[in-house]
Structure formats: C-alpha cells, structure tokens
Amino acid sequence: MRTEISTLGEFGLIDHLTKEIQLTQPTTRKGVGDDAAVIDNGGKHTLVTTDLLLEGIHFDLTYVPLKHLGYKAAIVNFSDIYAMNGKPQQITVSLGISQRFSVEDLETFYAGVLLACEIYGVDLVGGDTSSSLTGFSISITCIGTADEEKIVYRNGAKDTDLIYVSGDLGAAYMGLQLLEREKAVFGEKGNADFQPDFSGKEYILERQLKPEARRDIVRILSENGIVPTSMIDVSDGLSSDILHICKQSNAGCRIFEERLPIDYQTALMAETFNMNVTTVALNGGEDYELLFTVPLSLHDKMSTLPGIHLVGHITKPDEGCYLVTRDGQEMKLKAQGWNPLEK
Amino acid sequence: MRTEISTLGEFGLIDHLTKEIQLTQPTTRKGVGDDAAVIDNGGKHTLVTTDLLLEGIHFDLTYVPLKHLGYKAAIVNFSDIYAMNGKPQQITVSLGISQRFSVEDLETFYAGVLLACEIYGVDLVGGDTSSSLTGFSISITCIGTADEEKIVYRNGAKDTDLIYVSGDLGAAYMGLQLLEREKAVFGEKGNADFQPDFSGKEYILERQLKPEARRDIVRILSENGIVPTSMIDVSDGLSSDILHICKQSNAGCRIFEERLPIDYQTALMAETFNMNVTTVALNGGEDYELLFTVPLSLHDKMSTLPGIHLVGHITKPDEGCYLVTRDGQEMKLKAQGWNPLEK
C-alpha cells in the first residue's frame, strides 16, 4: 500500500506522524504542536525550536546572497522563540555543503548568522558540517528561555479575545515575486550585465531577504504587563496561523479585511502583478510578525501600544473561522501550508 | 579568492568558521567544541547536540531499512548526550522528503525513531517537515540534562590518567564494508532474487544498522561514584576521538595496539577484506562507544567494572599522541574526519 504524501499535505502529515506520540518525561512540558517545545529542567523553562532549510525549496541562491541567507535562517528561529513570549539565547547551525561552495562562501553565510546573533544577543553553540551530494542544506535549532508563567502557547485564546498582529503583512511574499520575475527576465536575456531596477521596492525586498524577528513587540508587551492568551509567529500566512490558534484553542474567529495592515509597496506590487492584495496579506507567509490574542478588557491599553494592529476577534468554536470582507461577506479562512507537489 | 574546503578538512573547517565566535550569554556554559553544548537556565544544566544526516553521504537506502535508519539517527544523538555524562530527554526530528517517499515510508522511519525513544526514555517534542528536490535529509537535535558537577567535558584529561573504551571497535565499519560488497554484487548480477548470505555476520551488521548508545556505561560509572576526567563518544574512530580529548586537554597519549578491543567477527571480516584490523579499529568510526579518562588512582576499582577496556594512558603534551604497536614501535595517531572530496 502506498499513500502519497500530497493526499495529507504538510499539516495533515505532521498530525498523522505525531498523533501516537506519548510524552513520558516529567521534564517535557510541551511537545509537538507549538512554535517551540517547552522543557523544565528546574529554574527557568527551556524552549526549543528547529528548522530545516533546503536549497531549491526554501531559498534560491540565484538571488539570495549567502550573508542574507545566514541572517534569515537565524531570524526565523528567533521568531519562534519570541512567539512563545521567550528570549532566544543559543543556536546550533548544521550545514550540508556541496563542492561548489568555497571556504569564503561559508564565511559569508556564517557572517550573516553571527550578525543576527550579535544583534539579538544569541550565542552560536554548536552544529554539524557535512558534505552534500546535492544542494545546500541548513538546519538550525534555537534554544530560548522564559519564566514558566509568561510562556504563551497557541491554545489559550478565549471567546471575545481580540486578535492583534504586529507590523504589516504580505511584503515578504511580494518581495519574492519581484525577485522571481527579475530572475526570469535575467534568464531570458542571458546577459550578465543585466541589472534589475529595485528602486522604490527596497522595503518588500528587505522583508524577503533580511526579515527581523519582533523582539520589540515582546518587550513592549512585557513592559506593559500584558501576557497574551495565545501567540504564534506568522510564517505560513495569517490565515494558516490564526487557524492554528483557533484549532488548538478550540475557538472560532473573525478577521476583518479592512483591518489587515498592508504596506504601500506591497499593495503597489500586488497591483503590478495583478494579484489580490488581501490574498497576499492572508496567505503570503514569511512575515515573521507576531499574531496574538488578548482579553477584550485590555482593548484601551492595547490601543496605546505602537506597531500592533487589531485585526479581529475570537468567537465560539461553532461560529467557524472567517474573513469578513469590506462589503460584509464572510469567507472561510483556509490553511495553505506546504504542499509537496509544489516547489 | 576561492579556498577549497578540501584544503581544510572537516575539523579544520569547523575550527576556521567558529574561531571568532564569542560567547556573550551568561546561560551558555559551553559552546562549540564538545559532544554537546551546555546551558544553565537554573536548576539542572541543559545539554544540546545536533546531527544532520544526508542521503548518499551518511546512509544508503539501498541497504539501510528506514526503520533502522530512524533508530540509528536517534541513537547517535543520544550517544552525544551520554558522552557528556548526561541523560537524553527530548529530541526534535526534521525531515526533507522527496516525492518518492510515501506516508507509509515515513511511518516506518518514525517507528524506528519512536522505538529508540521508548527504549531510552526520550520524548519526541518537535521538528519540521519539508519537501526536498533531491534526497532524504534528516536533522535531529537532542536535549539532555545533567547535574552541573557531573558533566564531563573533553578538556579535563590529565597526565597519567588512564584511557578506557567501552565495548569493541571497528565492527560497524566492517558491517558497512560487507553491505557495500553485497550491494556491488547485487548490482552486477542485476537479479532481484539475489539473497546475500549474512549468517555468522549478524554482529557486525547490527553494529552498523542498529547501534546502541552506552547508557549502561554511564549508569555503571555513576553507581560506582566515578566521574571521568574527560569523555567523548567514538563516532569518527578512536584515533580521531582521542586526539580531540588530547587537543582540548592539552595532553598527549599512548594507545596500546594489543589492548584494542576487537570482536571476532570484526577480525575475521577484516581478514576477508585484506584490511589491517588495527586500522579498522582505530579509524573505522560509528562505534558509538564511550572513550574516557580517569585518574590512575582509580585503576583497581575500574578493573572490576564490566564492559570497559583499558587501552592506554594520557601523557604530557610534548610527548605527542602515539599508538604503541605490538612490537613496541610508536606510530603517530592521525585524525581521519570527514573529507569533502570523498563520499
């Protein structure tokens, strides 16, 4: 018997493979299913998250500079720790390297990782290097810490909680579209002198090539004594990620189209590409913004905080998960996730 | 300027890329350079180790069953935690999957990982799955714990300390040679009915395909109140691994050829393949035995413990690192490590 992975999709596959897992160690406080695992070895709790990045799937070295790749690979893991309301402290970096890489290439990649570490106050503490017969493989694990009572899981959202997101959405995705287009043009022209014109598009490119993790939001929430009831970082797109919160919290939600924070460059580029900007904001992914819920009673306090946007509210589970469009229609939110049939 | 990675080799490359790393976090007790990193979040210390395994480099699915692969991938990480005198408690498993894999294939791989977890008392707490354009990629991170005063590093060996190794050496390597030969024969015959004859060779095959981590040795040492002065697990071969201890401890060593523990099947297979069995024992690798040093004063106590073998002693650094052959000659020990020019 052979069941194709495509019949399950990413989230279905993970659910299928992990549904039988029993946790047996008293030190394990949270296993599979959140932004990070939570371990209690006494003292502060330890958070662990990991990502595997493969050439041709997660990045394209045609237009991603190695230093940026190293920076981003670190940042996306820091983001998972912040999404638990924790502080990243250590990372390990494992690399599978093909022969076309030189020592200088790896120095450049490492320089990006170490720059991220320096800016975010994280130590690089280990890893593994190996040759690879094919492309470049990167596996990063990040270790963080948090006080037990401040850890925020995905499963604590309650009916009437407000839903907030930091920054803006869809920019990284439009940056990727732009890079893909320029790569195609470059390929057609076959001209090494070809110089793409990126002026006026710096923001969406930076969001794709050099994202930041929202340490500042975690700090602002902490300084204002706010512990969200649930939180996740937006890596797959707001639509998929609010569905994770709703599923694990046994709740529904309403997201309001008119409230989705979208940068001007994102909107302009979506228009250029003839894409629906709401779809881009909901499903683009790689935003690395924080998506979180807080009790309705905190509304007034929340509205004084910079850099966050109220985008909707949590409902009872039987009310489902919907986008409320500008004209008042309700459209069901869908998880995108990773599809093994697509690149 | 382009420097080929082959000019540095594995250990040279790691040294080169990590030599500038500064540890800045007070919770980081040990960074790059041991079997695991050590983190102090209060309470017991947390140990972290990680491995990246790539198809065609670290395993060949022609003759490695997926369940065995899952088991081994977990075990080699547990072994790194035991080599710190710690206890593995959690792992994360990230997979890059090409389209030729079915859901059933992944279930089989996971069954192997979970069997190892069950036997060793470890929880699977997270990971990442992704499609892969090429082969099967596996990244495993293991989290362990240990009391601060019981952690054993590579850098504590002292002049006159005795050097012990558990179990026997070279068997996994001879198992690999046997599997490679049968694969070649199978390829020549092009015959699906071909059945290799492995009778009488079960031990070396099991050492290659289903190794165990030496939790029992850690327990025996603990029960006898012995904390080694240094320890490492034998993954690259005794020669490379004792050199790691000597380099980090600023010491020399003498290893005695006549004392190398070698199983009968290993010796027989080496003879069949016309290989020098001492070279196999020193450089074969993948033994996952524990190699450790204890003060000379513990000799009498150590000689009562089962499953360990005295193979040499530590010297002053200026005496170098040598194998003393059966006929009394001294041969310099060499690190093998991974070579990107080889498979």
Q: Please tell me the distance from the alpha carbon of residue B64 to that of residue B103, in angstroms, as a whole number.
A: 18
State phi, psi for A62 to the nearest 5 degrees.
-60, -40
Q: Binding site annotation covers B241?
A: no
- Establish if B43 belongs to a structural domain: yes
Per-residue pLDDT for A335 more than 90? no
Neighbours of B225 (CB within 10 A): 8
Regarding whether B172 and B61 lie in a shared domain, the answer is no
Domain boundary at B150, B172, B196, which? Answer: B150
Regarding whether A73 and A183 lie in a shared domain, the answer is no
Regarding whether B181 and B129 lie in a shared domain, the answer is no
Q: Please tell me the distance from the alpha carbon of residue B290 to that of residue A13, in angstroms, as a whole number.
A: 37
- Establish if B130 belongs to a structural domain: yes
Contacting A residues, span 57-76, partner chain B, CB-CB under 8 Å: 57-58
Helices (H), chain A: 9-18, 66-82, 103-120, 171-189, 202-209, 215-223, 238-249, 264-272, 277-283, 299-302
Q: Which amino acid is at B169?
A: L
Give the domain CATH number at B211: 3.90.650.10
Q: Please tell me the distance from the alpha carbon of residue A238 to that of residue B333, in angstroms, as a whole number.
A: 57
- Establish if B317 belongs to a structural domain: yes
Regarding whether A196 and A111 lie in a shared domain, the answer is no
pLDDT at B343: 32
Regarding whether B210 and B99 lie in a shared domain, the answer is no
pLDDT at A14: 87
- Establish if A132 belongs to a structural domain: yes
Inter-chain CB proximity B123 and A7 less than 8 Å: no
Average pLDDT over residues B162-172: 98
Q: Please tell me the distance from the alpha carbon of residue A35 to that of residue A83, in angstroms, as a whole number.
A: 7
Per-residue pLDDT for B1 more than 50? yes
| Domain tally, chain B | 2
Per-residue pLDDT for A305 more than 80? yes
- Establish if A101 belongs to a structural domain: yes
Chain B closest CA to A77's CA: distance in Å?
Answer: 12
Per-residue pLDDT for B30 more than 50? yes
Q: Please tell me the distance from the alpha carbon of residue A85 to that of residue B44, in angstroms, as a whole number.
A: 22
Inter-chain CB proximity B125 and A27 less than 8 Å: no
- Establish if B55 belongs to a structural domain: yes
Distances A181 to A134, A263, A286 between C-alpha atoms, Å = 25, 20, 18
Q: Binding site annotation covers B60?
A: no
Inter-chain CB proximity B133 and A56 less than 8 Å: yes
Neighbours of A264 (CB within 10 A): 10
Q: Which amino acid is at B234?
A: V
Closest of A155, A342, A152 to residue A248, by C-alpha: A155
- Measured distance between the N- and C-terminal CA atoms of chain B, rounded to whole angstroms: 25
Regarding whether A192 and A325 lie in a shared domain, the answer is yes
Regarding whether B257 and B179 lie in a shared domain, the answer is yes
- Closest CB from A2, A45, A131 relative to B102: A2
Chain A closest CA to B266's CA: distance in Å?
Answer: 27
Per-residue burial over A209-235, b if 16 or more Cβ lie within 10 Å, else e, is bbbbbbbebbebbeeeebebbbbbbbb
CA atoms within 13 A on the CB side of A313: 12
Regarding whether B118 and B209 lie in a shared domain, the answer is no
- Establish if A155 belongs to a structural domain: no
CA atoms within 13 A on the CB side of B63: 21
Distances B108 to A2, A17, B69, B114, B233 between C-alpha atoms, Å = 12, 10, 9, 10, 27
Domain boundary at B150, B181, B210, which? Answer: B150
Inter-chain CB proximity B127 and A46 less than 8 Å: no
Give the domain CATH number at B62: 3.30.1330.10
Identify the residue among B123, B138, B142, B148 best suited for mutation to test binding to A, counting A beta carbons within 10 A and taking the highest: B123
State phi, psi for A272 to the nearest 5 degrees.
-55, -40
Q: Please tell me the distance from the alpha carbon of residue A263 to that of residue B22, in angstroms, as a whole number.
A: 38
Identify the residue among A50, A57, A81 best suited for mutation to test binding to B, counting B beta carbons within 10 A and taking the highest: A50
Helix, strand, or coil here: B60? coil
Regarding whether B132 and B198 lie in a shared domain, the answer is no
Regarding whether A177 and A289 lie in a shared domain, the answer is yes
pLDDT at A340: 35
What is the average pLDDT value for chain B, to the nearest integer? 93
State how beta strands A308-315 and A162-166 pair. antiparallel
Read off the DSSP letter of residue A230.
Answer: E
Average pLDDT over residues A61-74: 95
Q: Binding site annotation covers B35?
A: yes
Q: Is B216 left (phi over 0), alpha (psi -120 to 50) or beta?
A: alpha
The complex's ipTM works out to 0.92
Q: Binding site annotation covers B233?
A: yes
Range of the domain at B186: 162-332
Q: Which two tokens stand for residue A208?
A: 């794709």
Average pLDDT over residues B93-122: 95
Regarding whether B108 and B168 lie in a shared domain, the answer is no
Regarding whether B177 and B321 lie in a shared domain, the answer is yes
Q: Please tell me the distance from the alpha carbon of residue B219 to that of residue B19, in angstroms, as a whole number.
A: 35
- Establish if B338 belongs to a structural domain: no
Angle at which helices B202-209 and B264-272 pack, to 10 degrees? 100
Average pLDDT over residues B215-238: 97
Average pLDDT over residues A68-88: 97
Closest of A123, A207, A117 to residue A166, by C-alpha: A207
The answer to whether the CB of A5 falls within 8 A of the CB of B132 is no
Domain boundary at B122, B150, B178, which? Answer: B150
| pLDDT tens for each residue of B236-248 | 999 999 999 999 9
Identify the residue among A30, A44, A52, A55 best suited for mutation to test binding to B, counting B beta carbons within 10 A and taking the highest: A52
